[in-house]
Amino acid sequence: MNFYNLTAHELLSLLDQKKVISEDVLKSLKERVSLVNKKTNAFIREPQVSSPAKGAFGIPVGIKDNICIADELVTCGSNILKGFRPPYDAGVVEKIKAHGSEVWGGLNMDEFAFGSSCESSFYGPTRNPWDLERVPGGSSGGSASAVAAGEAVWALGSDTGGSVRQPASFCGVVGLKPTYGRVSRYGLVAFGSSLDQIGPITKDVTDSALLLNMIAGFDKRDSTSVDTPVPDYAKALVKDVKGLKIGIPKEYFIDGIDPEVASAVHEAIDILKKEGAVIKDISLPHTEYAVATYYIVATAEASSNLARFDGVEYGLREVPDRVRKTPLIDMYETTREKGFGDEAKRRIMLGTYVLSSGYYDAYYLRAQKVRTLIKQDFDKAFGECDAILCPTSPTTAFKINEKVNDPLAMYLSDIFTIPANLAGIPAISIPCGFDKKKLPIGLQIMGKPFAEETLFRISYTYEQNTPWHLERAKL
């Protein structure tokens, strides 16, 4: 039996009924990775699990390659972390193991999570299982591709500006960015510290709720972790949206959006309306400034976070043949030149510039002020509605190399996902159809802080009224 195509909750049911054993599931996954990873490149390294877990959640969880797993290679898709093995587990990895599951590590990603297509990895691009000539989205493209291709039953990604939701949209799976502070960032290699959040990528909404149950919760080792009770998200999986007010922001239905994407989202709105949801037109007026604001804040934080990669304590160390300045400075420069890729260098330079003397007030400080205005837009909107609905991405998956030489076009891929990160609110992407090329379309639902239950309730209701979550890429 091809267990790799089943959802986690379907597998858990079979395990509970003793109709299958964990060894069978693990064998099926290993065979699937060996068969299709040469096509998708979803895994940088084929995952190593010597024996299956014995606990109630004994199904391996795919791990993006910027989440630390003790004594296993973690590279962030970069040459500069060549050979690095963390001495500790990330907070989410500890929780997964505590639930009796194993980690299925080494999922490919844009280098240091810098990208929207999973093309900037030192280990080569990941491909979309629905069309191998197209990108899976980024930066968690390996996680989304693996789940869509059956190489992982479920997986974790990290979302800084849409890096869980946009690849989920492109690959026809479910991607959730929890509220900032809901899931520990301890052991997540930082990109943008005020924006990053680990989130689940799954085949359906039920799996998303189950995986969030596993990883959510306070962690005193993470100064941004919020000490607030964690509900049982599975209890929110009810087919009922009667009376819920869902806002439709006019700024997210812009000129240039793919007509097939807009049509699929409007059909989704109609389905929720028929189920009893109250649909309201709303405005988020500062949306147009979100991309510019994000790429100032995110690059500033990235340049600060990446300063630690210098060849001294871990990872790559390159020493030039002759001394040009001083041995130490030469080692720094040569290591970073050979260790970082083009996109990483671009973001480091942009971030250093906006934080430099004379430009800090003009760029970084002003961006933080606009970020506050964007957050206030959401606060006002949530005074009128329970959730906000829009497309996840303005297009379906684009072709590999199509935007690689046009960074601005690439950055605009995240135009609908970035605002949720700037505001720190939860957001989920679920499949809502296909275009004429049989490429998946994603529907995004955003909620109030720590209102993931509302997102699950709406998503589950929509999912149970449509067939999209049952579709599988044919590889």
Count Cα atoms within 13 angstroms, Cβ side, for 148.
Answer: 37
**Cα–Cα distances in Å, from 90 out to 71, 111, 156, 186?**
12, 19, 12, 6
Of 475, 453, 472, nearest in space to 205 by CA: 453
Element containing residue 278 per DSSP (H, E):
strand 278-282
Structure tokens at 399: 């072709």
Distance CA 387, CA 389 (A): 7
- Gyration radius from the chain CA atoms: 21
**What phi, psi does 433 have (nearest 5°)?**
135, -170
Tell me the H-state helices in 150-258. Answer: 165-171, 205-215
Q: In terms of Cα–Cα distance, which of 333, 98, 89, 351 is closest to 214? A: 98
> Which phi and psi angles does 128 have, rounded to 5°?
-85, 125
All residues at 6 or more sequence positions from 350 whose CB lies less than 8 Å from its CB, including other chains: 295, 299, 303
Which residues are annotated as catalytic? 64, 139, 163
Sort strands 245-249 and 154-159 into parallel, antiparallel or unpaired: unpaired
